[in-house]
Amino acid sequence: MKWLSWDELPESMRCDEVRPYYDSLAKKRGQLVVKRVFDIIGSLVLFALTWWLFIILAIAIKLDSPGPVFYRQMRVTQYGKEFRIFKFRTMVQEADKIGSAVTTNDDNRVTRVGAVIRKYRLDEFSQLIDVLRGTMSFVGTRPEVPKYVASYTPEMMATLLLPAGVTSTASITFKDEAELLDSTEDVDQAYVKDVLPRKMACNLKDIASLSFSRDAKLVLVTTGAVMGFRVTVSKPYEKEVETVGWRKVKNRNE
């Protein structure tokens, strides 16, 4: 995990709002090294255990609909660097050209096999490739598309101090966001104005309290959520879901 000095950061990140988060992480350089070692070892172990699942999913996707096995959408990671994420394709080919970058329930772009893959969060498994190559980490802010990053406030830019993650407190708390976006006419606007700020509030708290033990706990909680276990929202994050519409997400997960 590359660490830049303050003067080496992109100009958009060198602001007063980001500085406290930068200084906090700078004191935890040792934990950042452990975090990267965990990412490498963990991804290699999971590859060894799930290589057969990659083959099954690849065959199912190819038989179900025309197009590539992986969906390589452009996302943003550490220091604002853009990369093409690895996700098992769950939609029709070129789905991003015929709809929003955010998916809602009953989205007609989702394929039959894609619906099953999404139900069990299997599309995220391919991000082990991103974790191994360092563009992502197991735990961190979910990588957004460039157009959403362009709407970040100065403080939100602090989430780019670390590599994007496969899971986070925000992704667990708001895992059912698609259901709430179903009723909105302008999905992109609703996401940027209502959803993104609250997810970022969770992400910023995660950065401020970063620790390897916390990362390990989030991985376990995410595993439980994917397997269908009930997941509760911890008290420090309740404020982020207490708004019109979001309350029912919290209650359902409790």
- Cα–Cα distance measured from residue 90 to residue 117, given in angstroms and rounded to the nearest whole number: 7
Tokens representing 195? Answer: 């959803």
The distance in angstroms from the start CA to the end CA of the chain is 36
- Cα–Cα distance measured from residue 51 to residue 58, given in angstroms and rounded to the nearest whole number: 11
What pLDDT score was predicted for residue 172? Answer: 84
Q: Residue type at 64?
A: D
- Cα–Cα distance measured from residue 139 to residue 3, given in angstroms and rounded to the nearest whole number: 17
Long-range contacts of 208-213 (CB under 8 A, 24+ apart): 208/20, 208/21, 208/24, 210/24, 210/25, 210/28, 210/31, 210/162, 211/28, 211/31, 212/31, 212/34, 212/35, 212/38
Strand partners, 139: 167
- Cα–Cα distance measured from residue 83 to residue 68, given in angstroms and rounded to the nearest whole number: 18
Residue 191 CB coordination number (10 Å): 20
Query: Of 78-87, 146-155, 183-192, 199-208, which gets the smallest average pLDDT?
Result: 183-192
Residue 203 CB coordination number (10 Å): 24
- Cα–Cα distance measured from residue 18 to residue 158, given in angstroms and rounded to the nearest whole number: 5
Count the helix, strand and coil residues of the chain and give each as a percent rounded to the nearest 5.
Answer: 60, 10, 35
Confidence check: pLDDT of 147 > 80? yes
pTM summary value? 0.84
Query: Of 6-10, 129-133, 194-198, which gets the smallest average pLDDT?
Result: 194-198
Question: What is the Cα 198 distance to its own chain's centre?
Answer: 14
Confidence check: pLDDT of 93 > 70? yes
Tokens representing 218? Answer: 């989030």
pLDDT tens by residue, 228-245:
666 555 554 444 444 323
What pLDDT score was predicted for residue 250? Answer: 33
| Residue 94, phi-psi category: left (phi > 0), alpha (psi -120 to 50), beta (remainder) | left
H or E segment to which residue 48 belongs: helix 29-64
- Cα–Cα distance measured from residue 103 to residue 179, given in angstroms and rounded to the nearest whole number: 9
